[in-house]
Amino acid sequence: MLEKQPTPLPALYTDRWVYDPGDVIEVMAEGAGEAAFALTRLRGLKGEAQPNGFVEEALTAPVAARLGRQNLDKGSRATTSTGPTVSGASSWKWRLSIHPTRGGAGTVLDWGNGALRLKLREGRLVALLGHVEIGAHLDLGSWTFVEVALSSDGVLCLSTRPQGPGYRYRSSFKAELPAFTFDIAGPLEIGRGFNGKISGPALWVDDLLAAQWDFAASMSSQTVPGTGVQARPLELINAPQRAVTGPEWTGSHHDWRYAPSRYDAIHFHDDDLSDCRWATTAWIKVPDDAGSGVCAVRMSVGALTRYAPVFIRPVQNRRLVFLASTFSYLAYGNSLWASPYGKQLEADYPEETSQMRRFGLSTYARHTDGSGIGLVSTRRPILNCAPGFLGEVAGGQVLLCDDLRIIAWLDSTGEPYDVVTDHDLHESGGAALSGCDLLITGAHPEYHSAQTLDALEAFQGRGGRMIYLGGNGFYWRVSTLPDAPHIMEVRRAESGIRMWAEEPGQYHHQSDGQLGGLWRRIGCPPNRLTGVGYSGQGDETDSAPYRKTDAAGDLRARFLFEGIEADVFGENRGLVAAAGYEIDRFDPRLGSPAHALVVATSLPFGAAMLPVNEERLTHTLIDAEQPMRSDITFYETPAGGAVLSFGSVFFATALDEADGAGRLMHNAVQRFLDPAPFEMPPSKVSSSHED
């Protein structure tokens, strides 16, 4: 749907998120009046008075440009500029199946610039050819086979037949066309403004197959090939969902790769948006000497300032690297949902939250037809992936702002560091961490791909040291589309904390066919990588400090607590305590190394902290002992490396505690950067022997 509205608040995005020194950033923006654009490095927070405030350092001089209104063409569809052609003397018939998921208007098929239109209108399917219109009732939420045909003597017929067990009846409606002389040529468009699935469109001309499209073909692509003498490939606009069940799906198969005919369908939505496709407003060159860092493009329009995230890769990694959770930033991009947090945002910031809806919501929201949003893109304004988002709004949904606390702490140490992103690990694997000795994660690295996990395991395998400075990490599997890497995919399969659940039979990603859902359910629990895994979730009202355990005095871990006299640390100092919101625990059943030391555990939480879904077996039975706890865990790896995990989204808020949480982190970084190898405890070192 092409929007024509008054100019809204200023907004911007960039052609991608990750750049090298010397690259040119392409900036797309809208608004009114003169604007100035500059690349700025984000240096950290201003302090507790403004918890999401930040310090920035300009890297380029301002670039001036005039803003204007940009068109926003939302809604997915399949299109080709050269569709099939017929002459007025020919008979033809279109056949396809449709499964509407929402009432209202929408175009199922438009052929020849409106010469033939098959539309949904108030619960009816309507065929329009010239000035003739015929319609039939259509059931919402089920498959219907549709045929619209024109005979050689000028009779238009629309036939429908519900598909599924027990359906046998067929409806047909006919109308004669006066002065029949129709020649049809021009583009073909399928699904514009339509909410639901479409399967198997095919055109017969004079009883010969002219064009047909198998919506299960080239599943990972944004192009659908056609068969038949008049078929041209269909381009998918705004990334409709693929790898969805079609009219022939019976439940006997759940992986589209092994039964493609059961997945001959595409799910279109009227609010899909994979690329705003705005005209370029400004270009900014990344200075050759910019250095690596978490940065942003700043747009100043009068008294207003807007930011778009930018991450500058290092030319060669320093020993210390911060891993920016760009997959998680994207998953939470423009987050609004039915929660006290979301309702408060909409009440306090109606214009900003309206913009968030306009540019497409996060993977925690639903489409207008009620289905979950599983495909999200960087090529759109994402308001909450920006420094200082809505002033003092805090919480797990504002991930970049949370990670700026870690950037602030790293800056305060004076220790040189570089920034690598999830996207880098996904694209380049372990090579993205070449030269790195210590990797520090963000506060909420929740979303990861198979490639990013492989890269991190390879890093640990060569002796790399890792500090997991967050909670609820390495939880959901994601992927990117091969021919559209700016689009990330998530399938919320069985279990897990989620705002929607994927439909049965649709758990496998369209991008690569691999099973989606929780890494814990797929067979790669985070405990194997970090020693801890997601255990409980609360809210911002419920947090707790940590208490040392007896293991804190173990010779292997004693270095962590040098200078920390108190047994309890990470207490609430005006914001929150160090353990809270989303927490992880040690559990050998899920892969936590047996030799790991739990050096501190959170004090008890209040009633707001509850076990996560995957810990529940029944409404009363929980499959874990004391799951509502956060464990700080340390262990060595066989190649001389080590892992320290804090297991709390809130831990970064306590890094300014110089005699507690901050000191612990300082001790860890100093020892982890020491080249002296860590040694596995003797009883845990595996040995080989001959029989």
Distance CA 635, CA 646 (A): 12
pLDDT at 425 over 70: yes
Average pLDDT over residues 316-328: 96
DSSP 561-610: GTT---SEE---SSS--SEESEEEEE-GGGT--TT-EEEEEEPPP-TT-E
E strand or H helix that includes residue 355: helix 350-358
pLDDT at 20 over 90: yes
Cα dihedral angle (352, 324, 657, 674), rounded to 10 degrees? Answer: -170
The answer to whether 345 and 394 are in contact (CB under 8 A) is no
pLDDT of residue 169: 65
pLDDT at 407 over 80: yes
Distance CA 27, CA 265 (A): 35
Average pLDDT over residues 351-369: 92
pLDDT of residue 154: 87
Q: Identify the structural domains of the chain with CATH numbers, from first to last.
A: 77-268 (2.60.120.200), 313-682 (3.40.50.880)
Q: Residue 113: which of 91, 130, 93, 96 has the closest Cα?
A: 130
Residue 393 — pLDDT band, cuts 50, 70, 90? very low
pLDDT, tens digit, 9 for 90 and up, residues 528-566: 999 999 999 998 778 999 999 999 999 999 999 999 999
pLDDT at 688 over 70: no
SS3 of residue 507 by DSSP: coil
pLDDT of residue 104: 84
Residue 1 — pLDDT band, cuts 50, 70, 90? low
Cα dihedral angle (82, 83, 89, 92), rounded to 10 degrees? Answer: 170
pLDDT of residue 541: 79
Average pLDDT over residues 466-495: 96
pLDDT of residue 176: 84
Average pLDDT over residues 149-153: 90
In angstroms, the Cα distances linking 40 to 62, 74, 291, 346, 387 are 10, 31, 12, 29, 11
pLDDT, tens digit, 9 for 90 and up, residues 289-310: 999 999 999 999 998 999 999 9
Average pLDDT over residues 631-641: 97
In angstroms, the Cα distances linking 38 to 24, 32, 411 are 12, 18, 22
Structure tokens at 353: 């939250």
pLDDT of residue 492: 96
Distance CA 303, CA 203 (A): 57
pLDDT of residue 168: 60
Which amino acid, one-letter code, is at 111? W
Structure tokens at 176: 């004669």
Query: Would you tell me the crossing angle of helices 340-348 and 350-358 to the nearest 10 degrees?
Result: 110
What residues have CB less than 8 Å from 40, skipping those under 6 apart? 56, 57, 58, 59, 295, 296, 297, 298
Of residues 326 and 619, which shows the higher confidence score? 326
Q: What is the CA radius of gyration of the chain?
A: 28
Distance CA 398, CA 362 (A): 12
Name 205's bridge partners.
Answer: 92, 208
Q: Residue 403: which of 415, 385, 416, 418 has the closest Cα?
A: 385
Measured in degrees and rounded to the nearest 5, phi and psi for residue 57 equal: -130, 120
Q: Which residue has the tokens 């355990």?
A: 549
E strand or H helix that includes residue 29: strand 24-30
pLDDT of residue 336: 80
pLDDT of residue 124: 92
Provide the phi-psi class of 540: left if phi over 0, else alpha when psi is between -120 and 50, else beta. alpha
β 155-162/171-176 pair status: antiparallel
Average pLDDT over residues 669-677: 97
Distance CA 386, CA 403 (A): 11
Cα dihedral angle (620, 622, 626, 630), rounded to 10 degrees? Answer: -120
Structure tokens at 88: 């007025």
Distance CA 255, CA 515 (A): 8
pLDDT at 398 over 70: no
Burial 515-553 (b: 16+ CB within 10 A, else e): ebbbbbbbebbbbbbbbbbbbbbbbbebbbbbebbebbe
pLDDT of residue 246: 97
The answer to whether 180 and 154 are in contact (CB under 8 A) is yes
Average pLDDT over residues 663-673: 98
What residues have CB less than 8 Å from 67, skipping those under 6 apart? 10, 29, 30, 31, 32, 33, 34, 35, 281, 301
Average pLDDT over residues 4-9: 64
Q: Residue 35: which of 62, 64, 55, 13 has the closest Cα?
A: 64
Residue 166 — pLDDT band, cuts 50, 70, 90? low
Of residues 27 and 88, which shows the higher confidence score? 27
The answer to whether 439 and 465 are in contact (CB under 8 A) is yes
The answer to whether 662 and 578 are in contact (CB under 8 A) is no
pLDDT at 485 over 50: yes
Q: How many CB atoms lie within 10 A of CB 168?
A: 6
pLDDT, tens digit, 9 for 90 and up, residues 119-140: 999 889 999 998 899 999 888 9
Distance CA 133, CA 156 (A): 9
- Sequence-ordered alpha helix ranges (H) in 444-491: 450-461
pLDDT at 54 over 50: yes
Per-chain mean pLDDT for the chain? 91
Least trusted range by pLDDT, from 15-24, 576-585, 679-688: 679-688
The answer to whether 19 and 90 are in contact (CB under 8 A) is no
pLDDT at 39 over 50: yes
Of residues 194 and 154, which shows the higher confidence score? 194
